[in-house]
């Protein structure tokens, strides 16, 4: 794995091992310059300290760009949740929450990420007995503050996917493309991909291909997002749609679409396939989906890229809204305002100066960090 956006000196870099439950976990608090370290907990078999460091650094930049009073952090639990029971998963989350007690909420606030949801965030808050130890908790998990009811704002409301759609809207306008009938391919039809698809479809875009871990389906005439969302809600793969063409997931990145949204894992566009990418715009729904060296190559090929540290910041903006006790409407308004403003700011300068958008975004973030 190419190491990009890696902080040489994170404020905290901790590795945990539970001898009873037999799992390894990582916590990296990259920076506390702007506030408490904020970043989600991912649970995947292959997560490593290097990956978590990259992600924590990305969160530092993301929070700075979103102008949030948060530093950057990330955590990872090295286990495949699909190979364990829900009971076992809960034990692991509760165990990790206890390991986090010296850090939450003094230095770190947890949040959902790959394979962790509102349920895991509730388990963390219940285990630590600290409301602010996590955000992204369920909407029906509440407390009273000075007589006012404050509740969770889970990422299941779709804040990240909503923000990705807003970023795509700005990018198409600046690229002088009509979003109505623009073709879109989405790699990773999970929480981010589903909501990005729903909001883009409402804007008039045509979703022509989606994928998940078991396969991909495409249709030049457009796919039914409602039917796909129901299939995923039933725990099935998108390949069960029953219409369209089933393709290998890796082929989705090669489709000649207006907008490509990588919303799956890291480094999905890489040395082996970057030359085959034919999209006009890439909006990074996932964290670190393209190593920086290949982003630069794609930019030189006139592919407009909205980097992850702008495009998918809806989740952490939602986390801030929950932290402040805002309601859903105010949260979505905040996501739209911040992502539209930052996408416009960075892409306008990138197109005017012919510079890679990530370089400009990182410069702005570093200025704010100083």
* DSSP of 328-367: HHHHHHHHHHHHHHHHHHHHHHHHHHT--HHHHHHHHHHH
3 state DSSP class of 220: coil
Three-state secondary structure string covering 278-318: CCCEEECCCCCCCCHHHHHHHHHCCCEEECHHHHCCHHHHH
Catalytic residue among 74, 137, 198, 338: 74
Q: Which two tokens stand for residue 115?
A: 């394979």
Q: Which two tokens stand for residue 111?
A: 């949040």
Alpha helix segments (H runs only) across the chain = 49-65, 86-99, 118-128, 159-174, 191-202, 225-233, 292-300, 308-311, 314-324, 328-353, 357-369
CA-CA-CA-CA torsion sign (130, 135, 137, 142): positive
Give residue for tokens 């391919």: 185
Q: Say how far apart CA 361 and CA 221 lie, in whole Å.
A: 35
Residue 365: CB atoms within 10 A of its CB come to 24
Q: Say how far apart CA 207 and CA 210 lie, in whole Å.
A: 8
74 noted as active-site residue: yes
Q: Which residues are catalytic?
A: 74
């Amino acid at each position: 794995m190419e190491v990009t956006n890696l902080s040489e000196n994170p404020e905290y870099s901790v590795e945990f091992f539970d001898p009873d439950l037999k799992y390894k976990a990582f916590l990296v608090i990259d920076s506390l310059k702007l506030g408490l370290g904020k970043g989600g907990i991912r649970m995947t078999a292959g997560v490593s300290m290097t990956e978590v460091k990259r992600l924590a650094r990305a969160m530092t930049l993301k929070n700075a760009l979103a102008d949030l009073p948060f530093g950057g952090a990330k955590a990872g639990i090295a286990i495949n949740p699909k190979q364990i029971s829900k009971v076992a998963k809960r034990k692991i989350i509760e165990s990790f929450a206890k390991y986090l007690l010296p850090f939450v909420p003094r230095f770190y606030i947890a949040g959902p990420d790959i394979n962790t949801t509102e349920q895991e965030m509730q388990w963390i808050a219940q285990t630590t007995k600290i409301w602010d130890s996590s955000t992204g908790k369920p909407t029906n998990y509440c407390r009273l503050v000075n007589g006012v009811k404050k509740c969770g704002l889970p990422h299941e409301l779709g804040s990240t996917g909503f923000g990705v759609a807003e970023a795509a809207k700005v990018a198409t306008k600046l690229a002088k493309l009509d979003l109505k009938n623009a073709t879109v391919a989405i790699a990773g039809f999970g929480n981010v991909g589903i909501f990005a698809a729903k909001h883009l479809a409402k804007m008039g875009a045509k979703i022509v291909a989606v994928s998940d871990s078991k396969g991909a389906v495409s249709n030049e005439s457009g796919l039914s997002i409602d039917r796909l969302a129901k299939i995923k809600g039933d725990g099935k793969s998108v390949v069960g749609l029953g219409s369209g063409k089933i393709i290998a997931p890796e082929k989705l990145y090669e489709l000649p679409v207006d907008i490509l949204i990588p919303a799956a894992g890291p480094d999905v566009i890489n040395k082996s396939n970057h030359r085959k990418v034919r999209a006009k715009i890439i909006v990074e729904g996932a964290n670190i989906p393209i190593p920086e060296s290949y982003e630069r190559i794609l930019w030189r090929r006139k592919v407009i890229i909205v980097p992850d540290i702008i495009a998918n910041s809806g989740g952490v903006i939602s986390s801030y809204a929950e932290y402040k006790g805002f309601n859903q409407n105010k949260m979505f308004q905040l996501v739209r305002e911040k992502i539209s403003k930052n996408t416009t700011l960075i892409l306008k300068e990138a197109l005017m100066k012919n510079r890679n958008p990530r370089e400009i975004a990182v410069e702005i973030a570093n200025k704010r960090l100083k």
